[in-house]
Amino acid sequence: MAVNLPPENTNNNNQIIQAEWDEAANAIAYDSVTSPAPICVICGPPKSGKSTFSRHLLNVLIGRYRRVAYMDTDVGQAEFTTSGCLSLTVINEETLDLAMPCLRTPERCYFFGDTTQRTNPKTYLAYIHALYGYYIEKYQHADANIGVPLVVNTPSWVKGMGLDMLVDMLKHIAPTQVVKIRVPDENKNLPPGPFWLKDGLDNQEVTLFEIGSKKLLRAAHDRLLAYFRNCVPNDASLSTTEELDHELAAHPPYEILMSSVTIKKLHPEMPRVQTSGSFIVGLAVSSSTSEGLPCCVGLGIVRGVDTAKDTLYLITHVPKSVLEKVDLLLHGLIKIPACLKQI
C-alpha cells in the first residue's frame, strides 16, 4: 500500500505554549547574566515535551542572539538529523511549526548507528564530550564577544544506566541552566532537585527550572524517508512512499572502489558486515577530529557489492566533492524503511 509522504515545508504553527514554559524560556534568554551566553540542558522522561520545549527555547533565544547552537544527544528521536546521529547544529532562524520535524545540515555530526545509547555507552559519551568540546572551542573561545547560546536536548531514558549517562553528561557540560520537565506519574520523573550534584561538593553555579509536561501531537515524519528524498531531483513530484521507492531504485548510484574505503561495524553484538543486499551506512572521514573520532558527512545506502570488480554501489545526496574525502563507511543497526522495497 502506498503511504502519503509528509509535506516538505509548512509554516503552520498551531501549538500553544503554556505559561510556565514561556516564563522559563524568557528567563533563560533575557534574565541570564552568563558570559558570553547561556548553556541550557533540557531533560525529562518520555512524552514530556522536551523536543517541543527545546524548539520554543530556540525561537526565544534567537530573538536575543544572532545564532543558537543545538546539541542533539537523543539518538532515538533526533530533532534536526536522522535517528542514530549525535550532532551540533547552528540555527539562525525561528522554527515556524513546532509540531513538524525538519532536517537541517549539522555543523558537526557523529553516526552512532543505533536508536538507543545502551548498545555502546562509552562511545556515546565520547561523542557527546567531543561535540561539547567543539562548541566550546569555536563558540565560547573564538566567538566569545558574539555569544552563541547552547541548547542540549537529552534522551528520554532517565532510569538506571540512562540516568548514569545523563549525570555524566551534566557533569561534563556544567550547564548554566537546566530545564527538568516532569510528568504527572512521579515514578517516571527524574530525582528531585539538582540530582547530578552530590552533597554540594560539585562547584557548579546552575539555575534549575522544573516545569510541567505538555504532550503535544507531533506530525508523523520519517526522517530517513525525508533524508533520502534529497537524492531525487527537486522538480520530481512525489506524493507517496511508493513513488519515492521507485525513484530511488532508478537512481544511478556512485561506484566506489572497495579498496578506497573501510566498512566498519559499529557495535560488537552486530553480525558480520553485510556484503549482500542493501544497507544504510554513515559516510565518514577517519580521524577527522582532534579526538580521533570520525565525523559523519551524511548517510548513504549501499545498493550492492561486486567483489570481482572491487566496487560497491552507493546512493547518497552528499556532493561528489565531499564524498571523495570519505574513507570510512560506518555500518550500524539503522535499517532501511520497510516501505522502500525496491532498493
Annotated domain spans of the chain: 19-212, 223-331
In order, the DSSP letters of 3-47 are -BPPPS----------HHHHHHHHHHHHS---SS--EEEEE-STT
Size of the chain, expressed as the number of residues it contains: 343
Give the sheet arrangement for strand 108-111, strand by strand. Answer: 108-111, 85-91, 68-72, 150-153, 39-43, 177-182, 207-212
List, edge to edge, every strand of the sheet that includes 254-257: 254-257, 311-315, 295-306, 279-285, 328-331, 262-265
Q: Which pLDDT value is given to residue 187?
A: 95
What is the 3 state secondary structure string of 156-176? CCCCCHHHHHHHHHHHHHCCC
Q: 128 to each of 37, 72, 107, 123, how far by Cα in Å?
A: 20, 9, 14, 9
Fold exhibited by the domain 19-212: Rossmann fold (3.40.50)
Q: What is the CATH number of domain 223-331?
A: 2.40.30
Could you tell me which of 33, 63, 36 has the C-alpha nearest to residue 139?
36
Residue type at 277 in one-letter notation:
G
What number of other Cβ atoms are within 10 A of residue 77's Cβ? 17
How many CB atoms within 10 Å of residue 75? 27
| Predicted local distance difference test score (pLDDT) of residue 31 | 82
Helices (H), the chain: 19-30, 50-62, 121-135, 161-173, 223-229, 241-250, 320-323
> Which residue has cell 513530484?
237
Q: What is the pLDDT of residue 341?
A: 85
Residue pair 79/57 in contact (Cβ under 8 Å)? The answer is: no
pLDDT on residue 214: 82
- Quickly count: other Cβ atoms within 10 Å of residue 95's Cβ: 21
Q: What is the pLDDT along the chain (343 residues), one digit of tens a residue?
A: 344 444 444 434 444 678 999 999 999 999 866 667 899 999 999 999 999 999 999 999 999 998 999 999 999 999 999 999 999 999 999 887 777 778 999 999 999 999 999 999 999 999 999 999 999 999 987 655 568 999 999 999 999 999 999 999 999 999 999 999 999 999 999 999 999 997 655 667 899 999 999 866 665 568 899 899 999 877 667 778 899 999 999 999 999 999 999 999 998 777 666 666 799 999 999 876 667 899 999 999 999 999 999 999 999 999 999 999 999 999 999 999 988 888 8
**pLDDT for the residue 235:** 61
